[in-house]
Amino acid sequence: MFPRTLFDSDQELFRDSVRRFIETEITPFHAQWEKDGCVDRALWNKAGEQGFLCPTLPEAYGGVEVDFRYNVIINEEIARAGASGIGWGLHSDIAVPYILNYGTEEQKQRYLPGCISGELVTAIAMTEPGTGSDLQGVKTTAVRDGDDWIINGSKTFITNGQHADLVIVVAKTDKSAGARGISLFLVEASRDGYSRGSNLEKVGMKAQDTSELFFEDVRVPAQNLLGAEGQGFVYLMQELPQERLSVATNAISNTESILEQTVQYVSDRKAFGKPIAAFQNTQFKLAECKTRVDATRVFVDRCVELHLEGKLDAAMAAEAKLLTTELQGQVIDECLQLHGGYGYMWEYPVARAWADARVQRIYAGTSEVMKLIIARQMLEQG
């Protein structure tokens, strides 16, 4: 791998402990979880015991209070292992930060310790059957009724949807106010009127529980409003860069790992009396992939540094997501080709990675939406 300067020796020790945990607690079971359509719920509590959930959260709530590089290490190791069923990134990097950044002290004390221990699995429910990219078009409503809010609507494609105990729900509190009419709510899965739909059958990421969620007159107290009424869209825009960086760190690490495994495969496999690696076509393909992966790795590490400094803006994060996830699709496709027929067999990591990677260009904002964000900033500055 291209030499990196992002991590110190303590962080590399942390990486070793994450890697060992994955080797013993995840890899041996992941194929079964793919058949089950979700991971074992107890894995969340085991991860919590190790400090692998929300490591950046303050000690006051039970966190380790380290910087985002620890989240990056966890993402990288999961991606390296091809453990695509693990929803910790969505929990630690995407959903829980909303509670930390916009929650009241009472909400933080109520929820954060459970998010860190694994007692509470979180999800974030933006997408609806009728709208995904166009977030302002959400139809789910929250209507004030005395000291409560009553939520009605349905969501789909929600990561951690079956396991989630606590869902951040994007809802319209003022249908006539456009983006300013969107608010966020903390909805416990135990609320009356809340129900999970089916665990959706996907092309890849088969051990990840991705679900529909339904809200039928779900009554939550006013204290469950997250942040200020009407500010939901602003909060989403503020948090999406970290979400996209998180996807980017996963994408580049998974790509590196599959490329390394492919080097091994072509060295071992023979055709026409020589290793596949001896053909010039193989060498050229590998060289092209490696060059692009190394250059992208440097870019992503720099984006992580900028994020640590609070300087990663929406367009840079969109670039990181666009670049890494498109590259992931292209490189893994080349790697699969170099595996021949074995590359199409589910038991081979490259086959799973190929299927798993496809969604990376769709969720957390599609590649097309990333291009819109990047171009908008160019034109504003130009």
Q: How many CB atoms are closer than 10 A to CB 382?
A: 6
- Among 6, 64, 66, 362, the residue binding ligand FAD under the rule CB under 6 A is 362
Instruction: State which residue, 162 or 282, has the beta carbon closest to ligand FAD.
Output: 162
Among residues 212, 243, 256, 319, the one annotated as catalytic is: 243
Span of 55-63, 125-133, 183-191, 284-292 interacting with ligand FAD by CB under 6 A: 125-133
- Among 82, 132, 241, 349, the residue binding ligand FAD under the rule CB under 6 A is 132
SS3 233: helix
- Among 23, 368, 375, 376, the residue binding ligand FAD under the rule CB under 6 A is 368
Minimum CB separation of residue 372 from ligand FAD in Å reads 6
Enter the tokens of residue 5.
């300067």
By the rule CB under 6 A, 136 interacts with ligand FAD: no
Query: Residues touching ligand FAD: how many (CB under 6 A)?
Result: 23
326 catalytic? Reply is no
Report the DSSP beta bridge partners of residue 149.
144, 220
- Among 107, 159, 255, 282, the residue binding ligand FAD under the rule CB under 6 A is 159
By the rule CB under 6 A, 126 interacts with ligand FAD: yes
Minimum CB separation of residue 89 from ligand FAD in Å reads 11
Quote the CA–CA distance of 374 and 314 in Å, as a whole number.
Answer: 8
By the rule CB under 6 A, 363 interacts with ligand FAD: yes
SS3 39: coil
Please list, in sequence order, all residues whose beta carbon lies within 8 angstroms of the beta carbon of residue 239, skipping any fewer than 6 positions away: 94, 97, 98, 101
Angular region, 260: left φ>0, alpha ψ -120 to 50, beta rest: alpha
Minimum CB separation of residue 127 from ligand FAD in Å reads 3
By the rule CB under 6 A, 88 interacts with ligand FAD: no
Helix boundaries (H) for the chain: 9-21, 27-36, 42-50, 69-81, 88-89, 96-102, 105-117, 232-268, 280-308, 314-338, 349-357, 367-381
Quote the CA–CA distance of 84 and 77 in Å, as a whole number.
Answer: 11
By the rule CB under 6 A, 210 interacts with ligand FAD: yes
- Among 47, 124, 218, 332, the residue binding ligand FAD under the rule CB under 6 A is 124
Chain Cα centroid distance, residue 104: 25
Instruction: State which residue, 50 or 199, has the beta carbon closest to ligand FAD.
Output: 199
At 163, the amino acid letter reads: H
Q: Give catalytic residue positions.
A: 243
Q: Where do contacts with ligand FAD occur on this chain (CB under 6 A)?
A: 90, 123-127, 131-133, 157-159, 202, 205, 210, 359, 362-363, 365-366, 368-369, 372
